[in-house]
Structure 1
Amino acid sequence: MPEREGMCEQEIQYENQQLQQIPGCVNDSCLSLGPWVPESRCSTPCLPGSRKKFGSSIHKCCYECVTCPEGEISNTSDSENCMKCPDEEWPNEKKDRCVSKLVEFLSYTDDTTVALFSSLSIFCCLLNGLILGIFMHYGDTPIVKANNRNLSYLLLVSIMLSFLCVFLFLGRPVDVTCMLRVTSFGVIFSVAVSSLLAKSIMVYIAFKTTKPGSPWKKWMGARFPISVMSACSLIQVTICVTWLSISPPFQDKDTHSYQGKIIIQCNEGSVIGFYSVLGYMGLLAAVSFIIAFLARTLPDSFNETKYITFSMLVFCSVWIAMIPAYLSSKGKDMVSVEIFAIMASSFGLLGCIFFPKCYIILFRPDLNTKIGFLSNKGQ
């Protein structure tokens, strides 16, 4: 019959088998019985989640079923093509429909890492506040007054704020927190390191003024270290304001790094701005370390530059180690690396600078006097 011309041999055999299942029909005798048209195929139907793949047989009517590739689905039988899911969706296990991807960030409700960081941050803040209270209570003692008492208070407050800025990195990021993250700890650490730099410079100047006719005497006083700290911190503030004005950080969604996940993260906006903040902070730490190292053996009253030297060594080591770890991590791990670097460097400053002084204040009050200091210095 003309209708059967062009059909492949397998199709004709399959059609004849279907016709023979009708009582009284033999081969072509029932083709005119009505609208019923027999279905002919030489392959099993492809289920949803798969597609037809032609070319595996010499017969054009034959095909095989292959599973849809990653990120694509088919929701009908015998589909010839698979459909790609939207960026925020992902195929289910059967690959017959798209489902929403898992949203990942450091959540307060679902992540034990957040509970750990929050607990450590609160504990360090309370410890920092206790040390600040001790220093204020014993503010008139020689060890607190040495190397500028006001700078010590300012340093303690800045370290406390650095512990608190950890909370800007926790929870779902938004545009505001993204802008405050790096800029806040950049400015806070600049204030802290600038305070240590001013302390180191004051130790060096104090030693120089002991010589008769020294021109360094005009630099002695409470205003000079505050001016040094303010000038160094102002440069960091200028860098941050310029960064926020040109290309500020913003909330970003990473839909490609992990299959089936959407990473809610902060985009730095300007990479140059981000590394300028970190670079200037590192420059301050390096200068402070060098000056403190050179002044560590000067015979000044309660010379704390040896503690500053060690604290800057810890500070620089943490941030140098943080850079490769930060660049090689993604998602929550990247944020965790930043938080760890902030907390480790802050605790390093607190421990190296203030723990020895608190030990003398609380457990060796005999050394916290001019007589006790002179006798200890002569040993």
Structure 2
Amino acid sequence: MELTPSDVWTLTSAALVLIMTPGLALFYGGLVRVRSVVNMMLFSVSAMGVVGVLWILFGYSMNYFAEGEGGFAGSPFKDFGLISTDPASYIGVGFGAVFAMITTALISGAIADRVGLGSWVLFSGVWATLVYFPVAAWVWGGGWIQNLGSTLGLPDVIDLAGGTVIHINAGAAALALALVAGKRIGFGKGSHQPHSIPLVTIGAALLWFGWIGFNGGLATETGEAGLILVNTLAAPAAGIVGWILVDVMRGKKPGVIGAASGAVGGLVAITPAAASLAPVWALLLGLIAGMACAVAIEWKYRLGYDDSLDVVGLHLVAGVIGSLYLGFFAFSDGLFTGGDAGLLLVQAISVVSVMVYSFVVSLVIALGVKLVTGLRVPQQVEEAGIDFAAHGEEAYAYAAPEVVPAPTR
């Protein structure tokens, strides 16, 4: 069978999405203190390894319901190790794998500076198995959320690239894991400053670059692909503006980290909606998301939970906004674009269901990991810095000044 143009584009998009996880490692690595950069980046890289292996073994099999198959998720044994998978499906298998990798890696930002690699690896493997693979099957693999609209006689749930599956899922899990891990030593507003704005900027650029494949990888028509491209540019651009506006209004000096975070907020919000909104509504969505996320990241100080790199304030908040926004402005079915409240209802059901399921199961997994490993590194390691003590590496190897011998006569 020859490659079709659609196959080539999906293959290319898989490569674009794959680079997003190392991009996330750079984004997160720049946001932490210099003594835990290696640990933070290794969380993203290790997620690629653990989840990639599990996806090949049984994750892909769990990701969809075969004809006549029901239950909690697809059976992990029907395509175990891809033994019975049609090779013509391998491009789709790879495309799904890179989504599973970055979703799991997103969670790690909530526990920066204080959790050991072994604890994270255990959590990520169990979480992918019990949360990500089933939820992906519910939304994209023929499960109950995908069929919710037809079951209720309402419009189908819209989630193009993972407002629920990726961002709400990871954000709710991040909140649960952060609560179990507890606060960093010295936690407080302004106590843990990012060490590298250039790394954050490079990471954000790679995320935005890859997001075009993230949202557009399954597009099959020129018009659809073009709309997704424009909306994936429009929403994060407006997100930057929204975040900076909030900073200015509250008397804070605007900066690159805020602008980059605004872009990410806009990207998260447009993820479920990029093929279902007119560009002008995508601009409004990005503006709302950027402003809302700028406000939401302050919640952790008011509520007393330590989500180190604001996974909740960015991914959960913007994911909820983008998913619900479709109920108002999606083509034809939105409440303000010719439809009724039906789409808003099914969107709300999917949002609440995934958020509650992910939070509860993630909380149980995190508590179990804490019983097994203790979850956190020892206090002295956290205070001294995890990188050298736990990994034998440092992000920046500063060479000792060269000693120049004194001239001789």
TM norm. shorter chain > 0.5? no
Return the structure number with greater helix share: 2
Structure having the higher Rg: 1
Taking structure 2 as the reference length, the TM-score comes to 0.28
Q: Under a length normalisation based on structure 1, what TM-score does the superposition of the two structures give?
A: 0.29
More strand by share: 1
- Which of structures 1 and 2 has the larger relative contact order (alpha carbons within 8 angstroms, sep 6+)? 2
